[in-house]
């Protein structure tokens, strides 16, 4: 399922305006062309939570639809909403009394801000003779490469272990006088595995390095998995040596996009995050992240969802996600020779040694499922949401039919496993 090039030809802006009901109908028709991202598709970008939460998000967003979070510090209501979200985030991430959190427009911005802070910190605490370097596992998110590119830094990727977790010995061997930071994921996106965070953080302490945890996926589900009794390695600010974290509210925090957070373990480290500017006609310009204007509506959805769910609600949704995952894994592994990858998240990854996975992905894409997956090794990727047994059965029936079609050659269309 490849996206067609729909770049318009000729003029697009109408010479005269049209009535809103006509425009609305056309807009809805365009929306109907999209594959539904709803709960029935097990889409990696879904994170709906429930129909109730969808209503909460819609109504909360409308309340602040015309508000700019850039101005929140001047608006009592907006400031209180954002401040309470930041405080709740730090409670979930087990930040200490000195920890600080800021809301961003997504995981990419959160990661950028953390790496920028690491670079600024290194100029004071760990100057390098050459280009500053950041070490992360092969499984680390591509946003780190993007951040290092924009910030004039060098990314150093090291191999992962056979269990797809970071190889701490390989990370240690990669440290040079130019190294300023090391990264662990909790969990990583490609495999859903949590890296050995305590060991990586200890390595950072021994070499005076900035240690960042990328918890964009797990920041708002790991704590609830822990409460449910799942054994996880250290994953938050309780681990000594962790200086910063990224965690997405618009994933398992169930806020509307775009809404993520970057957090620092202390006020002393927070000061490396800001870029105050005052050498222009309008005086001081200081933002809480890279961007200036950003939607207050998505912050409001985070606040509303957190108030509606509370800790007990998040625990219950997480339990149901893991029940969905268990049912999917059992069903998938009963089909052909599919095998699922063991991991620490709500995500499901599966592959086949006998069937061509690109054709399996193509067959599922033809049935309306997003062709999201992993290249190395080639796997299909799902997010286990708290869906009904009927949704699970429907997916498994489609997968069973596609597997049979690939096996007997009646399904031949292929699709590339993709992330974006």
Q: Divide the 420 residues of the chain into consecutive groups of 10 and give the mean pLDDT of each group.
A: 60 90 95 67 65 91 91 88 96 96 96 98 97 98 97 98 97 98 97 98 98 97 97 95 97 93 96 90 87 91 96 96 96 95 95 93 87 88 88 93 94 70
Q: In terms of CATH architecture, what is 59-307?
A: 3-Layer(aba) Sandwich (3.40)
Task: Give residue 414's pLDDT.
Answer: 77
Look at domain 321-406 and name its CATH class.
Answer: alpha beta
Task: Give residue 35's pLDDT.
Answer: 65
Domains in the chain: boundaries:
59-307, 321-406
The secondary element (H helix, E strand) that includes residue 210 is strand 210-214
CA distance 377 to 121: 37
Task: Give residue 1's pLDDT.
Answer: 44
Nearest CA among 316, 265, 298 for reference residue 85: 298
Q: Spell out the residues 6+ positions from residue 368 whose beta carbon is closer than 8 angstroms to its own.
A: 35, 36, 41
- The single-letter DSSP state of residue 256 is P
114 φ/ψ angles, rounded to the nearest 5 degrees: -65, -45
Task: Give residue 371's pLDDT.
Answer: 73
Work out the angle between the directed axes of helices 296-332 and 389-408 (0-180°, nearest 10): 60
The residue assigned the tokens 């290249």 is 375
CA–CA–CA angle 317, 319, 325 (5° rounding): 105
Instruction: Give the pLDDT confidence of 240-279 residue by residue, as tens digits.
Output: 999 999 999 999 999 999 999 999 999 999 999 989 898 9
- The single-letter DSSP state of residue 295 is B
Helices (H), 37-141: 51-63, 76-92, 107-125
Laid out side by side, the sheet with 179-185 consists of 100-104, 260-264, 244-248, 210-214, 179-185, 133-137, 154-158
Task: Give residue 416's pLDDT.
Answer: 67
The secondary element (H helix, E strand) that includes residue 291 is none
Instruction: Give the pLDDT confidence of 74-88 residue by residue, as tens digits.
Output: 888 989 999 999 999
Q: Are strands 154-158 and 260-264 parallel, antiparallel or unpaired?
A: unpaired
320 in helix, strand or coil? helix
Tokens (6 digits) for 136: 């992360």
Q: Could you count the other beta carbons within 10 Å of the beta carbon of residue 210?
A: 26
Q: Spell out the residues 6+ positions from residue 253 whose beta carbon is closer than 8 angstroms to its own.
A: 219, 220, 247, 259, 302, 305, 306
């Amino acid at each position: 399922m490849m996206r067609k090039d729909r770049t318009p030809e000729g003029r697009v802006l109408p010479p005269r305006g049209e009535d809103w009901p006509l425009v609305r109908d056309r807009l809805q028709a365009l929306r109907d062309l999209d594959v539904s991202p709803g709960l029935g598709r097990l889409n990696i970008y879904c994170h709906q939570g429930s129909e109730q939460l969808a209503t909460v998000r819609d109504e909360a967003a409308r309340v602040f639809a015309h508000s700019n979070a850039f101005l929140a510090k001047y608006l009592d209501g907006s400031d209180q909403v954002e401040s309470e979200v930041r405080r709740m985030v730090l409670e979930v991430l087990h930040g200490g009394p000195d920890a600080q959190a800021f809301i961003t427009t997504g995981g990419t911005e959160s990661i950028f801000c953390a790496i920028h802070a690491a670079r600024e910190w290194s100029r004071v605490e760990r100057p390098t003779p050459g280009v500053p370097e950041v070490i992360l596992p092969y499984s680390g998110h591509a946003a780190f490469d993007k951040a290092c590119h924009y910030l004039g830094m060098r990314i150093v990727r090291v191999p992962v272990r056979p269990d797809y977790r970071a190889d701490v010995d390989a990370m240690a061997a990669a440290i040079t006088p130019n190294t300023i930071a090391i990264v662990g994921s909790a969990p990583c996106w490609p495999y859903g595995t949590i890296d050995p965070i305590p060991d990586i953080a200890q390595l950072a302490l021994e070499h005076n390095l900035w240690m960042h945890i990328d918890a964009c996926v797990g920041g708002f589900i790991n704590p609830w998995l822990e409460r449910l009794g799942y054994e996880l390695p250290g994953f938050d600010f309780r681990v000594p040596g962790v200086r910063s974290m990224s965690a997405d509210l618009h994933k398992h925090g169930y806020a509307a996009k775009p809404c993520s957070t970057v957090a620092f373990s202390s006020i002393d480290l927070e000061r490396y995050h800001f870029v105050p500017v005052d050498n222009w006609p309008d005086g001081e310009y200081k933002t809480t992240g890279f961007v200036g204007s950003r939607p207050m509506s998505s912050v409001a959805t985070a606040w509303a969802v957190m108030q509606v769910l509370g800790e007990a609600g998040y625990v219950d949704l997480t339990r149901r996600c893991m029940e969905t995952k268990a049912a999917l894994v059992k069903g998938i592994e009963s089909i052909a020779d599919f095998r699922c990858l063991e991991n620490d998240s709500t995500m499901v990854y599966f592959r086949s040694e006998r069937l061509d996975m690109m054709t399996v992905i193509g067959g599922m894409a033809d049935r309306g499922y997003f062709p999201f997956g992993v290249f190395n090794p080639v796997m299909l990727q799902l997010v286990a949401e708290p869906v009904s047994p009927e949704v699970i059965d429907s997916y498994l029936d489609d997968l069973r039919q596609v597997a049979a079609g690939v096996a007997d050659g009646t399904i031949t269309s292929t699709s590339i496993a993709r992330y974006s």
